[in-house]
Chain A
Amino acid sequence: MKLLVNGTEHEVDAPEDMPLLWALRDLIGLTGTKYGCGLAQCGACTVLVDGQAVRSCRLPVSAAAGKPVTTIEGLSGDASHPVQRAWAELDVVQCGYCQSGQIMAAAALLRTKPKPTDADIDAAMNGNLCRCGTYQRIRAAAHRAAELAQAK
């Protein structure tokens, strides 16, 4: 089947029930999207499908076929997306493993809510776990990203 990832078409030989996550990581070689739980409980695998944040560990690859998929590698070529810039400015990351998912979730949020409140951020990103506990900076960086996006 054909997958459209970050603007590039990939022909993948995958069973239909293979989660999109493993197709991205193992078949296409885009390892920025992470495996954390396999149950849509942690958000490490968050990607955009048709602009919506989805947990790629539970989405069968067949359901994503033909739809535009954006992964962390495709968010911007040079880490210039406002969310990435805000994350860098506030030194959000620690181990960094969950941050691809956090950044994709924040990017999806800003598409629908350019000026999110704390409550908006909590609601949109509560599904993204961080065991290093970077939540306080995530919240601050989501606000900062909104500012950076406005200033553009």
Chain B
Amino acid sequence: MNAVVDPSRRQFLKSSATLAAGLTIALALPIAVRRALAQEGAPAKPPAVDPNAFVHIGSDDSVTVLLKHSEMGQGVWTTLPLVLAEELDCDWSHVRVEHAPAAPAYAHTAFGLQMTGGSTSTWESYAQMRRAGAMARAMLVAAAAQRWQVAPSECRVDKGVISHGEKRLRFGEVAEAAARLPAPSEVTLKDAKAFGLIGKGARRLDTPAKISGRAEFGLDVKRPNQFIATVARAPVFGAKLKSFDAAKAKAVPGVVEVVQVPSGVAVIARHTWAAIQGREALVTDWDLGPGAGLSSAQLLQDYRKLAATPGAVAKSAGDAASKLKGGAVVSAEYHVPFLAHAPMEPLNCTVEIGKDGCDIWTGTQFQGVDQMAAAQILGLKPEQVRLHTTFLGGGFGRRANPASDFVAEAVHVAKAAGKTVKVVWTREDDVHGGYYRPMWLSSLRATLGKDGLPTAWHHTLVGQSIIAGTPFAAAMIKDGIDATSVEGAANSPYLDAIADHRVELHSPTSPVTVLWWRSVGHSHTAFVVESFIDELARAAKQDPLAYRRALLAKHPAHLAVLNLAAEKFGWGKPLPKGHAAGLAVHESFGSIVAEVAEVSVKDGRPRVHRVVCAVDCGSVVNPDGVVAQMESGIVYGLSAALHGAITLKDGRVEQSNFHDYPALRLADMPRVEVHLAPSGRAMGGAGEPGTPPIAPAVGNALAALTGQRLRSLPFRLA
């Protein structure tokens, strides 16, 4: 199969209008349905798959998998090839991986455009990868059978060798002939009992490059005659550039040009240091606009007032309002701040505009959107924008921007300068750059019955919509409810056990740009719901585990995970003096995760010693990959729970770098134990579900230890 068809030449989505229409159709189906459809057994009509788009067999027996998803640490570089190789029956040691180009063949099967996010990669491409592998195998076998003049059904395949009786042919020997054969319309997939790779897993295929400095991240891209640019952006959200004076910037040795772009002023230099110094010397004058009046403290006051008024109804049953009028009401207000994603690799993008189109190198999660944005700026057809995905030095959602901020800006800079340019963001740019996890306020009230269990529940959330104003709005905002704002709150399993409940939402706007941050809405709703449930358990003087068990009686999958985590932790058994435990269970992205945290307090600060995690993500392709993602999600959530806050004062972001926007460090790393509890439910995600339960688990442990209920993040003990 040397003659790989260049997918970028194929029929392309013609315009962003078509893109939006495709998205609407894809998104109209609930995610759970899409998840089921993407997996084996469910589809009556299997998706059309062109094996040539996903795998290339070399005459040297190499098996190159073209990866439609972006590798940002979550392990798709290994997991998806495992799925394809399972059906291909190749020699695993011959598998190589490349990021696929941006092209329609690589559109997300559930979302309709090429992207990586929402903890969807493995389940959304599972059937596609299997079919691609099986089809390629069938074509290779057909080519060998043809050469031998035997029936394909009489041939066997083992580790990349096709055999018939005593005859043997390696994949590489028939690859070219196989590529000329038509792809079969029907293929038989393996029975799960015959799996040798799926469910067993393999070591990461990106390790050799990443331990030797060879892995190419966006920041490492080097093109001929490439310049480096930094951009002086608005100091306040929504500010407009009035004027700039480039004289001092141009006087910095190495600076070659200063150009205005829509987002600010770009300083273009021969190397990064000159670009950084040049920008420091640049003089800019901004019309700050209303954003200059923003402060987190004022926003919190505004949110508090809003929370006291009726919002859009996200979920309602019975009559919570009248039930909450009389009797003993437990009430609480929770608050979480804006958060920057702060991936280790700051944002960057390299753009080379040529005669016949444009080449872009970047670590993005949003190829489909970025390609379209670049095409629009340059007046090109999307297929004339060749987008090369590099490794991503972390993504966490920041590199999936419906506004294509860092890609569009780099295209503008390259266009204005008439040069090949890599736009580099400093850490300060990243921390100041917006597209934060929104700040949220939650107001909750509940009444308890004689058995201590809640009889009425009222939850009002206040926070900016991520989806409003994006092409996703038409499909994902219904009756004023951005589904991502209330996920985990409006569909909490606890509500099923509370006859009268109501969840309301206010979606105020502000000049602060917001975006999905690892686990999106669940990043705040799990904290709020799981903490408040813990408060109710304490108010009812019941054990938090027993209390949850009672409420989750009709949710056996949640119960199983909760019980497993509690059992592995040794819930209820004595802990060292000065230690206490807390737990939380939360479903997100199709997976249920329970975490039990053991904490102490030292010098007035929380210490987390141990976290036991149980996860049911349906079925598992690469077990150690899931374990790694749970470890990762826990650390990401702990960083936010213990340290993370972006705050605004007079419109300025008060943090700038890792000294004032800290993340968890090695010495504070708890011992994490992960227990997989696959259940046979439809496959869920792994990248995000580990994050939501950790903040409430730690907060609940701190409440048990100190009696202090900490209702805002990051945790600060009195």
CB-CB under 8 A from B427, the residues of chain A are 36-39, 42
Bound-state Cα–Cα, A134 to B230, Å: 30
Contacts known (A37-B427, A91-B203, A94-B628); A135 close to B213, Cβ less than 8 A: no
CB distance from A60 to the nearest CB of B (A): 11
Bound-state Cα–Cα, A75 to B645, Å: 37
Query: Are A95 and B204 in contact, CB atoms less than 8 angstroms apart?
Result: no
By beta carbon, the residue of chain A nearest B276 is: A38
CB distance from B271 to the nearest CB of A (A): 4
- Asked if A68 is at the interface (CB within 8 A of a chain B CB), the reply is no
- Asked if A113 is at the interface (CB within 8 A of a chain B CB), the reply is no
CB distance from A18 to the nearest CB of B (A): 5
- Asked if A25 is at the interface (CB within 8 A of a chain B CB), the reply is yes
CB-CB under 8 A from A71, the residues of chain B are 213
Residues 89-116 of A, flagged 1 when their CB comes within 8 A of B and 0 if not, give: 0011111111110010000000000000
- Asked if A72 is at the interface (CB within 8 A of a chain B CB), the reply is yes
CB-CB under 8 A from B215, the residues of chain A are 96
Query: Are A130 and B344 in contact, CB atoms less than 8 angstroms apart?
Result: yes
Select B394's contact among A39, A97, A127, beta carbons within 8 Å.
A97
Contacts known (A41-B659, A96-B73); A129 close to B665, Cβ less than 8 A: yes
Select B636's contact among A32, A75, A133, beta carbons within 8 Å.
A133
Query: Are A26 and B658 in contact, CB atoms less than 8 angstroms apart?
Result: no
- Asked if A136 is at the interface (CB within 8 A of a chain B CB), the reply is yes
Enumerate A1-58 residues with CB–CB distance to B below 8 Å.
14-15, 18-19, 22, 25-27, 29-39, 41-42, 44
CB-CB under 8 A from B666, the residues of chain A are 121-122, 125-126, 128, 135, 138-139
Query: Are B208 and A123 in contact, CB atoms less than 8 angstroms apart?
Result: no
- Asked if B635 is at the interface (CB within 8 A of a chain A CB), the reply is yes
Residues 43-86 of B, flagged 1 when their CB comes within 8 A of A and 0 if not, give: 00000000000000000000000000001111100000000000
- Asked if B212 is at the interface (CB within 8 A of a chain A CB), the reply is yes
Chain B contact surface mostly: loop
- Asked if B214 is at the interface (CB within 8 A of a chain A CB), the reply is yes
By beta carbon, the residue of chain B nearest A44 is: B344
Bound-state Cα–Cα, A105 to B395, Å: 24
By beta carbon, the residue of chain A nearest B636 is: A133
Query: Are A35 and B207 in contact, CB atoms less than 8 angstroms apart?
Result: no
Query: Are B273 and A39 in contact, CB atoms less than 8 angstroms apart?
Result: no
CB-CB under 8 A from A44, the residues of chain B are 344
Q: How many residues of B contact A (CB 8 A)?
A: 62
By beta carbon, the residue of chain A nearest B395 is: A95
By beta carbon, the residue of chain B nearest A86 is: B211
CB-CB under 8 A from A33, the residues of chain B are 213
Bound-state Cα–Cα, A117 to B396, Å: 32
CB distance from A126 to the nearest CB of B (A): 5
Query: Are B667 and A123 in contact, CB atoms less than 8 angstroms apart?
Result: yes
Query: Are B659 and A39 in contact, CB atoms less than 8 angstroms apart?
Result: yes
Contacts known (A22-B273, A31-B220); A95 close to B393, Cβ less than 8 A: yes
Bound-state Cα–Cα, A123 to B665, Å: 11
CB-CB under 8 A from A63, the residues of chain B are none
Bound-state Cα–Cα, A24 to B575, Å: 50
User: Chain A contact residues (Cβ within 8 angstroms of B): what range?
Assistant: 35 or more
Name which of A37, A95, A121, A123 has the most chain B CB atoms within 10 A of its CB.
A95
By beta carbon, the residue of chain B nearest A41 is: B658
- Asked if B624 is at the interface (CB within 8 A of a chain A CB), the reply is yes
CB distance from B61 to the nearest CB of A (A): 22
Query: Are B206 and A38 in contact, CB atoms less than 8 angstroms apart?
Result: no
- Asked if A148 is at the interface (CB within 8 A of a chain B CB), the reply is no
Residues 58-101 of A, flagged 1 when their CB comes within 8 A of B and 0 if not, give: 00000000000001110100010000100110011111111110
Contacts known (A15-B273, A22-B271, A35-B219); A42 close to B669, Cβ less than 8 A: no
- Asked if B39 is at the interface (CB within 8 A of a chain A CB), the reply is no
Contacts known (A32-B214, A79-B211, A121-B666); A94 close to B632, Cβ less than 8 A: yes
Contacts known (A36-B427, A132-B73, A135-B666); A91 close to B207, Cβ less than 8 A: yes
CB-CB under 8 A from A127, the residues of chain B are 665
Query: Are A26 and B344 in contact, CB atoms less than 8 angstroms apart?
Result: no
CB-CB under 8 A from B394, the residues of chain A are 95, 97, 131-132
CB-CB under 8 A from B344, the residues of chain A are 34, 36, 42, 44, 95, 97-98, 129-132
Select B222's contact among A18, A31, A121, beta carbons within 8 Å.
A31
Contacts known (A95-B344, A129-B344, A135-B635); A27 close to B211, Cβ less than 8 A: no
Query: Are B665 and A39 in contact, CB atoms less than 8 angstroms apart?
Result: no
Select B211's contact among A93, A128, A129, A131, beta carbons within 8 Å.
A93
Name which of B220, B392, B636, B665 has the most chain A CB atoms within 10 A of its CB.
B665
- Asked if B20 is at the interface (CB within 8 A of a chain A CB), the reply is no
Select A136's contact among B71, B74, B211, B631, beta carbons within 8 Å.
B631
Select A91's contact among B217, B396, B628, beta carbons within 8 Å.
B628
Bound-state Cα–Cα, A92 to B627, Å: 12
Query: Are B75 and A96 in contact, CB atoms less than 8 angstroms apart?
Result: no
Query: Are B74 and A94 in contact, CB atoms less than 8 angstroms apart?
Result: yes
By beta carbon, the residue of chain B nearest A37 is: B427
CB-CB under 8 A from A30, the residues of chain B are 213
Query: Are A95 and B211 in contact, CB atoms less than 8 angstroms apart?
Result: no
- Asked if B123 is at the interface (CB within 8 A of a chain A CB), the reply is no
Select B206's contact among A18, A96, A136, beta carbons within 8 Å.
A96
CB-CB under 8 A from B75, the residues of chain A are 94
Bound-state Cα–Cα, A31 to B209, Å: 12
Query: Are A97 and B271 in contact, CB atoms less than 8 angstroms apart?
Result: no
CB distance from A125 to the nearest CB of B (A): 5
- Asked if B260 is at the interface (CB within 8 A of a chain A CB), the reply is no
Query: Are A131 and B628 in contact, CB atoms less than 8 angstroms apart?
Result: no
CB distance from B658 to the nearest CB of A (A): 4
Bound-state Cα–Cα, A127 to B215, Å: 22
CB-CB under 8 A from B272, the residues of chain A are 22, 25-26, 35
Select A72's contact among B212, B228, B669, beta carbons within 8 Å.
B212
Query: Are A135 and B669 in contact, CB atoms less than 8 angstroms apart?
Result: yes
CB-CB under 8 A from A41, the residues of chain B are 657-659
Query: Are B204 and A93 in contact, CB atoms less than 8 angstroms apart?
Result: yes
Select A34's contact among B345, B392, B635, B669, beta carbons within 8 Å.
B345
Query: Are A136 and B671 in contact, CB atoms less than 8 angstroms apart?
Result: yes
CB distance from A48 to the nearest CB of B (A): 13
By beta carbon, the residue of chain B nearest A79 is: B212
Query: Are B222 and A29 in contact, CB atoms less than 8 angstroms apart?
Result: yes
CB-CB under 8 A from B204, the residues of chain A are 91, 93
- Asked if B452 is at the interface (CB within 8 A of a chain A CB), the reply is no
Given A131-B639, A137-B631, 13 more A-B residue pairs with CB atoms under 8 Å apart are: A15-B273, A30-B213, A31-B220, A38-B426, A39-B658, A91-B628, A93-B206, A93-B207, A97-B217, A99-B210, A132-B632, A132-B635, A134-B631
Chain A residues within CB distance 8 Å of chain B:
14-15, 18-19, 22, 25-27, 29-39, 41-42, 44, 71-73, 75, 79, 84, 87-88, 91-100, 103, 121-123, 125-139
What are 7 pairs between A and B in contact, CB < 8 Å? A79-B211, A92-B207, A95-B392, A95-B393, A95-B395, A98-B344, A131-B639
Q: Top 4 closest A-B pairs, CB basis?
A: A32-B213, A133-B635, A97-B393, A96-B210
